[in-house]
Amino acid sequence: MKSFTITLANRDGATFEVDAKKPLLDSLRAQGVDLPYGCKYGGCITCAAKLVKGEVNQKAQVALNNRQINDGYIILCVARPMSGCTLQIGVESHDRLYRNPFLDPLKPHELKADIATPREA
Amino acid sequence: MNDSCCGPGYASPAEAIQAPREKLLYSIAIYTGTGIQKPDYLVTIDADPESSTYSQVIHRLEMPGIGDELHHMGWNACSSCHDDASMSRKYLLVPGVRSTNIHIVDTATDPRAPRLNKVIDGAEIKAKTNLSAPHTVHCLGSEIIISMLGDAQGNAPGGYLHLNKDFEIVGRWENSMGNIPFGYDFWYQPRHNVMASSEWAAPNTFMPGFDLEEVGHLKYGRRIHLWDFEKREPKQTFYLGEDGLIPLEVRFHHDPNSSHGFCGAALSANIIHWWKDHEGEWKWEKIIDVENEPHPDWPIPIPGVISVILISMDDRFLYLCNWLHGDIRQYNIEDPHNPVLTGQVWMGGLLGKAPEVNGVKVTGGPQMIQLSLDGKRLYVTTSLFSTWDNQFYPEIRTNGGCMLMVNCDTKKGGMKIDPGFVVDFGQEPNGPSRCHETRYPGGDCTSDIWI
């Protein structure tokens, strides 16, 4: 099993060895980390966490718009680690996840991937 | 009418209005999206003014899992099988819109303390029917259908889950979704062989929150569909355009002979009315248009966002909630083409007109409503959907939701918030939770349909 070390910055830096092939939500919950989740297919954002350091593959997620991705959010129920990672987990990490859409509109390149247009130079 | 021979509910809307006053309310309360790692739960609220625990939560039934996002619910049986003595209104179906789990709750053995009877696992529903995200529950006779807003991967349009009376999965109810792009709410009126359905969006679109820009990219609904109910397929679509952005709750008149139906278009803040004319053609029109309101801190005026509508059992009054403005309105719709505003109350909302009611800070705005069968008491809750709450009313995380009661004048019209009733979900034992849909053990104004 190829594994990586996941560090939880807002859980006193606790570390966990996880399988590179499994979604982070499953691996962390199996080791006793209490995490929010909902749909388990990458569509509902309940399990969003902030990636502080490292890389993940979250191609299966469809919940995040490009602004949320640029702000570091990942969807734990489908994200698989590609390196050692440092995360902030839980609702405490959601400070930039939600915005009032009337007061803070998205630019065309900040929309979800299926409708975003490339950023103008 | 010999009641001893009969099944659940009432012989007619007129008989339902005469039913005894509701003494218990069931509402869901959620922790999904709040940061509190506890299951969502069903609360029982004491609504008997003679009781020492009036206006209090007297029981909490936790679901087995976390993250369900309980939302809407429905009965296993209603007045649609009133003539079937083998049926009874015993079970409340309580779906989790995020998990797709459907909880079957026995409310009859001890109405004050409902108990979990069975869970239909979301994974089983997805595997057998390729459906997810359950929303509206209606029974038709002894069968149950549930609008499912997505396929197993959260893509639109989803379809309709068909359960038998033993809560076994029969399969997909509909024979065809036709060209319907999105699902949401539905209601049927069998004497006209018609069902009406509305459009929210794909679960993958609305669940993460509301990106307003996606409305322009046609990822939110703007149509109402009429179905051939017997053939189980759509037969006609009303394209509402800009007048009907995000059409949500669908209600027909309770009178089974009436063809008049209504829907609230949330983002356009309009009420859409449809009916069958003398030539048998279905027509639609906009009958109410809530003006956007200016706000000192907003670059554009705030739309009302009509999150729900409800028709009184006597079909004389329509109620609507403007979740962002913070008002509930009562319209006399005795002439359904020409509604007359007869009442209005304020609670919460973004316009700051009633930040505190009955000593409780109202976070959110009037959202789900349920009316007593006699039309005199309207129960109101303030949370819409966890992710959308977090966008528009982020303080709800620490304040929780609340339930209030509005007294309604059924003769002349008029509304007044009852000063003696408030349930503050900010004070729940496990921390602030959010309340959504409400139902009564004896049936209510959004559950029963007459065949």
- Tell me the chain A residues in contact with residue B132 when contact means C-beta distances shorter than 8 Å: 39
Q: Which of B63, B132, B153, B213 to mutate to test the interface with A (most CBs of A within 10 A)?
A: B213
C-beta atoms of B132 and A39 within 8 A = yes
Q: From residue B25, how far is each of A88, B71, B450 by CA, in Å?
A: 39, 15, 23
B13: containing domain? 3-439
Examine residue B11 and state whether it is found in any structural domain, yes or no: yes
The predicted model gives B162-180 an average pLDDT of 98
* CATH number assigned to the domain comprising residue B131: 2.130.10.10
Look at chain B and report how many structural domains it folds into.
Answer: 1
pLDDT, tens digit (0-9, with 9 covering 90-100), for A2-54: 999 999 999 999 999 999 999 999 999 999 999 999 999 999 999 999 999 99
Residue B51 pLDDT grade (very low, low, confident, very high; cuts 50, 70, 90) = very high
pLDDT over 70 at B319, yes or no: yes
Which position has the token pair 């009178």? B255
Examine residue B304 and state whether it is found in any structural domain, yes or no: yes
C-beta atoms of B33 and A36 within 8 A = yes
Examine residue B445 and state whether it is found in any structural domain, yes or no: no
Examine residue B448 and state whether it is found in any structural domain, yes or no: no
> How many angstroms separate the CA atoms of B237 and B260, rounded?
16
Closest Cβ–Cβ partner in A35, A43, A65 for B154? A43
User: Where do the domains of chain A lie, and which CATH numbers do they carry?
Assistant: 3-110 (3.10.20.30)
For residue B210, what is the nearest residue in chain A, using CA coordinates? A101
CA-closest candidate to residue B283, choices B337, B346, B221:
B337
A6/chain B closest Cα distance in angstroms: 21
C-beta atoms of A36 and B35 within 8 A = yes
Look up the ipTM and state it: 0.95
C-beta atoms of A106 and B298 within 8 A = no
Examine residue B67 and state whether it is found in any structural domain, yes or no: yes
- Tell me the chain B residues in contact with residue A101 when contact means C-beta distances shorter than 8 Å: 209-213, 391
> How many angstroms separate the CA atoms of B366 and B364, rounded?
7
Examine residue B378 and state whether it is found in any structural domain, yes or no: yes
C-beta atoms of B208 and A63 within 8 A = yes
Q: Which of A11, A26, A46, A64 to mutate to test the interface with B (most CBs of B within 10 A)?
A: A46
pLDDT over 80 at B5, yes or no: no
pLDDT, tens digit (0-9, with 9 covering 90-100), for B358-389: 999 999 999 999 999 999 999 999 999 999 99
Examine residue B446 and state whether it is found in any structural domain, yes or no: no
pLDDT, tens digit (0-9, with 9 covering 90-100), for B95-149: 999 999 999 999 999 999 999 999 999 999 999 999 999 999 999 888 999 999 9
pLDDT over 90 at B431, yes or no: yes
pLDDT, tens digit (0-9, with 9 covering 90-100), for A53-84: 999 999 999 999 999 999 999 999 999 999 99
Examine residue B125 and state whether it is found in any structural domain, yes or no: yes
> How many angstroms separate the CA atoms of B217 and B215, rounded?
5
Closest Cβ–Cβ partner in B154, B203, B213 for A105? B213
All residues at 6 or more sequence positions from A73 whose CB lies less than 8 Å from its CB, including other chains: A48, A49, A50, A51, A64, A96, A97
